[in-house]
Amino acid sequence: MDSLAQAYRSYPLLFWLLGSVLAYGLVANILWLFRTTRAWHSAYARLLVQILRFLYFLGVPYLALGGWPRRPLQGLLSLQDLGLVGLSLDWPVTRWLSAVGLGLATAVGALTILFLAWNSARRGSAGQGWRFPEKPWWALLVEGLYLEVHWAFYRSALALLLDDLYVGIFLGLALVYIEWSASPFWRQGWRSGPAAIRQWWYAALALVAALVFLFTRNLRVCLGVHWLMTLPFWHVARVRPAAADAQSNPRPSPQPEA
């Protein structure tokens, strides 16, 4: 126990990272075991999952920043490490405009490639199944916030731990993929077309976020790019398959009344 405590004092961020990945895998596997029970489909179960998501994706980075029981913003990471910056001497308007421009250029390029790939896959499957989950737009905004803060925590912790931003960013991305692979929901998703394309989408979003942060060092820009890429694609992915279904299964013409 003494050696473990000494290791924590020497490398506390490493313990936070390992604990985060282990917690994700443990909870995901527990939920997987209960997925076929009646309680899984209850409103209480859905509420519990949402509470766990909030505590995990936002609570862990908050504690690493210095939330309870430590003093606020006096923790292992700083807001600047995460990329949460505002207008300041280090971040004047010109640097903000440059970061936003780089983010937009990356988003447009990535969105174009992903849309072409999705459209090709949709045609290959006869227009069936390649849809995004039925979620309201605000749920996508919340999900984007969760993911971007979580990803920022991994890359900033590793960058600080290794004293190398470039290596930290891409090791953080690899850690995200390792974490996902610990979930049986994620592994099961690759066995069906509709889920697989969504998982490719999120994997691509994580890569784009890593690149945008490498170019800009700004989490707010990463979050804006995430939303910019998600909302238009989500809309098109919902509308186009519905239109294809309507064309392949036209409604019968109304018959004149006798």
Please report the DSSP string for 148-170 in residue order: HHHHHHHHHHHHHHHT-HHHHHH
What global pTM score does this model have?
A: 0.85
* Total residues found in the chain within this entry: 258
Asked whether residue 250 is domain-assigned, the answer is no
Domain, as residue range, for 222:
2-245
Asked whether residue 125 is domain-assigned, the answer is yes
pLDDT of residue 142: 94
Asked whether residue 41 is domain-assigned, the answer is yes
Report the Cα 22 to chain-centroid distance in Å.
18
Report the Cα 74 to chain-centroid distance in Å.
26
Asked whether residue 100 is domain-assigned, the answer is yes
Asked whether residue 56 is domain-assigned, the answer is yes
Asked whether residue 253 is domain-assigned, the answer is no
Asked whether residue 123 is domain-assigned, the answer is yes
Does residue 53 sit in helix, strand or coil?
Answer: helix
Residue 8 — very low, low, confident or very high, per pLDDT cuts 50/70/90?
low
Distance CA 77, CA 74 (A): 8
Q: How many domains does the chain have?
A: 1
Residue 57 — very low, low, confident or very high, per pLDDT cuts 50/70/90?
very high
What is the pLDDT averaged over residues 150-161? 95
| pLDDT, greater one: 188 or 128 | 188
**Taking the alpha carbons of 166, 149, 25, 138 in that order, is the dihedral positive or negative?**
negative
Asked whether residue 258 is domain-assigned, the answer is no
Report the Cα 175 to chain-centroid distance in Å.
13
Give residue for tokens 């300041």. Answer: 88
What is the pLDDT averaged over residues 37-56? 88
Beta carbons within 8 Å of 255's beta carbon, 6+ residues apart: none
Distance CA 83, CA 102 (A): 15
